[in-house]
Amino acid sequence: MSNSKINIALFFGGRSAEHEVSILSARSIYNAFSKEKYKIYPIAISKQGYFISPAESEAILFGEQKKVPEINRKNILDQEILNILENKIDLVFPVLHGPYGEDGKIQGFLDTLNIKYVGCDLLASAVGMDKAVMKEIFSYYNIPQSEFRILKKEDVNKQKLPKLFQKLADDLKRPFFIKPANMGSSIGISKVKELSSFKAALKEAFKYDNKLIIESSVEGREIESAVLGSGDQIQVSAAGEIISTHDFYDYQAKYKDQSTELIIPAEISEANKEKIKELSIRAFKAIGAAGISRLDFFVNEKENIILINEINTMPGFTQFSMYPLLFKEVGISYMELLDELVNIALAEAK
């Protein structure tokens, strides 16, 4: 590279249902990067999967649009994008949440081009996205979690719904949660108590994936932690608690409902704080994660129960998102997080 700055392509948007969240994260990241240390090339990806030139991407990033507009292939400067990726950048920061960004697909694409990138590799990203595989791996490593079942669309088609519902009700504690195996931001999740709501919950979840997770309900507080690092150099943030007025912490509660409260640090015992740190590191290593992850737990202090819910390998990254706020509590600023993520990516790729 011709200058002394680190050149970064900032990917955002993408084909998933978390498209709008990605734009919010990318906007915060772009603004926070030191322009003295970094040259940032914003590259938007439309919901059709088209890469948009940096000039147009910057207009999208700082315009009024909430999503990358659908455009014709003739308007996309493919050669400019290729030139940037091949000749101008040191690494990519793929701020892409959900399928086609957080699931290993973009990581595999960048691996093929021999381009360094921030965050987990193809395998860890895929495992972190597919909750069915994630939960099987957590089971293998004896990381405590709620009871669950995996349900595929073809299995549902072969059974009568009342019989299927009764089997799940016998196996799992009601109410249980139905969620797409490959989706984030709590999209497509439903809480099911009775047969009457079962069909609608299946229909909603199958909009996003052909494989579902059915989980027992857990009586406990929703506690989160954040992880930064790789190998044996891993830092765990303070723990934070989510208090929502909703039945559960769904997409509406995460991004649109101002009544949701984040308490940092979480008011739990020191012993449980240490246990969450230990489980965070174990889960991070279990899937082979690197760089960045946020972990969600259920904590019931009365019954001395801590269960992992999931790991998120590219969490929301606005200045008001849980991941940076959790590290802020332990003295690591938003800008310092970005610096460290870049350093980890460059070191990992050597």
Catalytic, out of 16, 18, 58, 237 = 18
143-171 pLDDT, tens digit per residue, is 999 999 999 998 887 778 999 999 999 99
* pLDDT attached to residue 1: 47
Q: Are 287 and 311 in contact (CB under 8 A)?
A: yes
The C-alpha atoms of residue 56 and residue 272 are separated, in whole angstroms, by: 48
Residue 75, pLDDT > 50, answer: no
Q: CB burial class (10 A; 0-12, 13-18, 19+) of residue 180?
A: buried
Question: pTM score, two decimals?
Answer: 0.89
The reply to whether 131 sits in an annotated binding site is yes
Catalytic, out of 185, 190, 230, 293 = 185
1-47 pLDDT, tens digit per residue, is 446 899 999 999 998 888 888 999 999 999 999 999 999 999 999 88
Is there a catalytic annotation at residue 321? yes
The C-alpha atoms of residue 140 and residue 323 are separated, in whole angstroms, by: 27
In order of their start, the domains of the chain are 6-117 (3.40.50.20), 128-144+220-348 (3.30.470.20), 148-216 (3.30.1490.20)
Is there a catalytic annotation at residue 270? no
The reply to whether 310 sits in an annotated binding site is yes
Higher pLDDT, 63 or 242: 242
Q: What is the mean pLDDT of residues 300-312?
A: 95
Higher pLDDT, 60 or 337: 337
Is there a catalytic annotation at residue 185? yes
The reply to whether 217 sits in an annotated binding site is yes
Higher pLDDT, 342 or 99: 342
Strands 240-243 and 233-236: unpaired
The reply to whether 21 sits in an annotated binding site is no
Higher pLDDT, 120 or 75: 120
Return the C-alpha torsion angle 193, 195, 200, 204, nearest 10.
60
